Amino acid sequence: MKYLVLARRYRPQTFSDVIGQEAIITTLKNALRFERVAHAYLFCGSRGIGKTTVARLFAKALNCQALSTDHEPCNQCPSCLEILSGQSLDVIEIDGASNRGIDDIRQLNETIGYAPSHGKYKIYIIDEVHMLTKEAFNALLKTLEEPPERAKFFFATTEPHKVLPTIVSRCQRFDLQRIAQAEIARKLTAIAADLKREATAEAIHLITTFAEGSLRDAESLFDQILCFTDEQVRAEHVRNVLGLVPDELLFELDTAFSEGRAAFAFEMVDRLFQMGKDLGHFTEQLIGHYRRLTVAKTMGTASLHLPEPLLSHVIASTKLYTPSQLFHILETLLTGFAQLQRSSMQRVSLESILLQILRSKNRIPVEVLVRRLSELEQKLLDPAAPVSQPIHIPAPSSLPLEIKSAPTCHEEKIPQISPDKDARPQILATKAPEPIIENALPAAPPLEPPLEMKSVPFNPLLTRVEEKTANAPQIKPERAAAPSPAHEAGRYETLLRFAAVELEGTIKN
Ligand SMILES: [Zn+2]
């Protein structure tokens, strides 16, 4: 027997075999039932989800001579058999991509008047109809306006926005959905059983993830893997064919993140290099991994349909991150991926992305800093105000930061009167600009003699004009006189530096 690829061998032959398009199938069956069949249909949707399959089935049902009570084609009458063998004179399939000119449509217009040979209708299925030229569309429009009574048009397209609106408005339009992963998995399992082959749940999961809702893509890949091995199909076979790295490496990255091992970035890229993997392709896989963790963290693992033992691994990894760390990493990856694709030094780019991920363990979100600063300011105004737990400041050794310019706020001597001249601890000395600080953030609280400080109102909207009106006679900054001003001010300053570093990072990104 002639070899047929899986996608053709297991193509649905009845409406009930079609998966994932229930609403459309019901509408089409009702059209048959109530004999309200329009003269033109437009089937839209992404590749491999069954547009032409549904169009062919509908054509077969329309011409079937022994339609079942459930409006399914019989697949046995002469008309059905002709369509099955692709030799029907009444169901004409045209590839819009290769027959896109006006002459092709003129030819169609000339033959459309002839009566169907066996069936009730003469049906034209035009695939990739958006590829037709404008002239061809216009020639088709004339026929669509006044179609012969026994002619039907079924159009299929992946890009409905490219079809002339005047054509679309003359069609009944159906938008086919992408097929759910679970449904594709069920179909692949059924195919494996029919072929007397075995496949692990993890292998099937990998194939369905790759297919992104396209049944044809899933079937084609499965076909390829069945040729790749004659044993049970396992995840490693799928990864081999797809050029993916093992998930274990991704979970190792999660562990390195939780342990703060930045050096793992280089180790990982080195291993990828040794394996000969495409670094861009790997980054896509990494984005998929972090997306999976983010979904698991925010929505739970149920929607991911993960098989064991993958599920346990993902749950364990999810616990190593906070939600804001995951959001930040995803953002870093997406920006980094765009840069990596343009980069002529992909290896270094990937190392940099991984370093950023591993380093982000110690990152303090800006919003936390801002909240903390305003709390502290409240505390300075009113010692009874509540303050949340101090931010965890990592040990100096785990802070691989290098600051090339100190926060600029020290430079200016702001001639400004403190809003209230009471015993508030005053901050921000009229100190000389700080030199380069290296790896010195937590060491920043000054141990030197108490500084001359001025208070800085925490109000970014306060304009300089307002300040200037109040500055006529320069007032010498007062010395701080609160109970433990040096301590409070030291912490305040440390936080300010953190905020500056964090903001600097944000601006760079
Ligand atoms: Zn039939």
As a whole number, mean pLDDT of residues 136-162 equals 90
pLDDT confidence of residue 487: 65
Query: Is 398 among the domain residues?
Result: no
Phi-psi region of 276 (alpha: psi -120 to 50; beta: other; left: phi over 0): left
End of a domain among 125, 157, 175? 175
In this structure, the answer to whether residues 169 and 187 fall within a common structural domain is: no
Q: What is the CATH number of the domain that holds 56?
A: 3.40.50.300
Give the tens place of pLDDT for each residue, 165-181: 999 999 999 999 999 99
State in Å: Cα 68 to ligand 1 middle. Answer: 9
Tell me the residue range of the domain where 430 lies.
366-389+403-469+476-508
pTM tops 0.85:
no
Smallest CA-to-CA distance from 38 within 172, 155, 142 is with: 172
Q: Which residues surround ligand 1, an ion (CB under 5 A)?
A: 64, 73-74, 77, 80
Task: Say how many domains are in the chain.
Answer: 4
Are both 41 and 137 inside the same structural domain? Answer: yes
Pairing of strands 172-175, 402-403: unpaired
Show the CA angle centred on residue 482, arms to residues 479 and 486, nearest 5°.
75
pLDDT of 37 strictly over 80: yes
Amino acid 283: pLDDT: 93
Q: Are residues 277 and 309 in the same domain?
A: yes
Centre of ligand 1 from the C-alpha of residue 57, in Å: 11
Q: What is the pLDDT of residue 304?
A: 82
pLDDT digits (tens, 9 = 90+) for 68-110: 999 999 999 999 999 988 888 899 999 988 888 888 888 888 8
Q: Average of pLDDT values for 346-354?
A: 93
Say how many Å lie between the CA of residue 67 and the centre of ligand 1.
Answer: 6
Distance 84 CA to ligand 1 centre (A): 10
For residue 398, name the pLDDT band (cuts at 50, 70, 90): very low
- Burial (0-12, 13-18, 19+ Cβ within 10 Å), 75: middle
> What's the pLDDT score for residue 315?
94
Q: What pLDDT, in 10s, does the model give residues 415-440?
A: 444 444 444 444 444 444 444 444 44
The alpha carbon of residue 97 and the mean position of all alpha carbons in its chain are separated, in whole angstroms, by 30
